[in-house]
Amino acid sequence: MAKIVIALGGNALGDNPQEQKELVTLPAKKIASLIKAGHEVIVGHGNGPQVGMIFNAFADAKKVNEKTPLVPFAEAGGMSQGYIGYHMITAISNELAKEKIDKDVLYFLTQTIVDAKDPAFDKPTKPVGPFYKTKAEAEAANPNSTIVEDAGRGYRKVVPSPKPVDFIGIKSIKKNVDEGAVVIVGGGGGIPTIEQKGQYIGVDGVIDKDFSLSKIATAVDADLFIVLTAVDYVFVNYGKPNQKALVKTDIAELEQYIKEEQFAPGSMLPKVQAAIQFVKSGKNKEAIIADLSRVEDAVNGKIGTRIVSKL
């Protein structure tokens, strides 16, 4: 049996709380099924739609009532972790109860340490928040922020996407994993946090959740890192007559495909890079990229792209 870290996409959880409460039952059932089979499971999730909903709501409310406070992006990320965590703990606990499995389900609000000198801070690229008609309006609503014109649709705030370095509380996270709890961690990649004069400070930013969960998988000494998406396999020459599914591949082959720009930035590319990062972290480490609805089949080698160090 394996220690498995699962990266679940935020889009799988819908666009609002009611959708999420319903949709979260599917990953909860899959997680319970893996635990019933004897695996240890640690799970993380994306939060793109959710943090956007929260950030936009406060920004829009301020347009109507100037007394409404602006909520910084880091705080919006924390809020999203809280309500996603509530739904995930409830859904997974209910599924474990159905299977008569007695395990604690814990959610760690995750602060991810990033390097204050990460080049990403000099070039913010991730659009967040609502659109504004003019740059002046956007700047007034987002003090001390970088504002860009977004594809002819208006002006938006952009934030950096730094790489994860470490996690506040990682020792406690590992301890609870080792004691057998089902741990939910690394939500949305975690709240970007820098160290400054011995103090932690949350900053604007979006950390790729797959990179964060890959590092967490290494930290807890997982055997298997699974990135769940909407396809059964990673493909090369995607959408072309010579399209090919990668069933089992290794680091060298994937790195060559990355050079050939086979994987879309912002979509499959970071998933592949995060999988490579984990596989490189130690002996006998494997990663799988597969469809959420068939995660048990992926673990059992029936579907999914399995990534090993060397074929």
Phi and psi of 161, rounded to 5°?
-125, 75
Catalytic residues: 10-11, 126, 209, 271
For residue 197, report the phi and psi dihedrals to the nearest 5 degrees: 55, 45
Mind giving me the DSSP string for 33-56? HHHHTT-EEEEEE--HHHHHHHHH
DSSP state of 84: H
Closest by alpha carbon to 129, among 118, 110, 116, 143?
143
Which of left, alpha, beta for 267 (phi over 0: left; psi -120 to 50: alpha)?
alpha
257-270 b/e (C-beta count within 10 Å ≥ 16 → b)? beeeebbeeeebeb
In sequence order, what are the beta bridge partners of 288? 226, 306
Q: How many angstroms separate the CA atoms of 306 and 311, rounded?
A: 11
List the structure tokens of 2. Answer: 């394996």
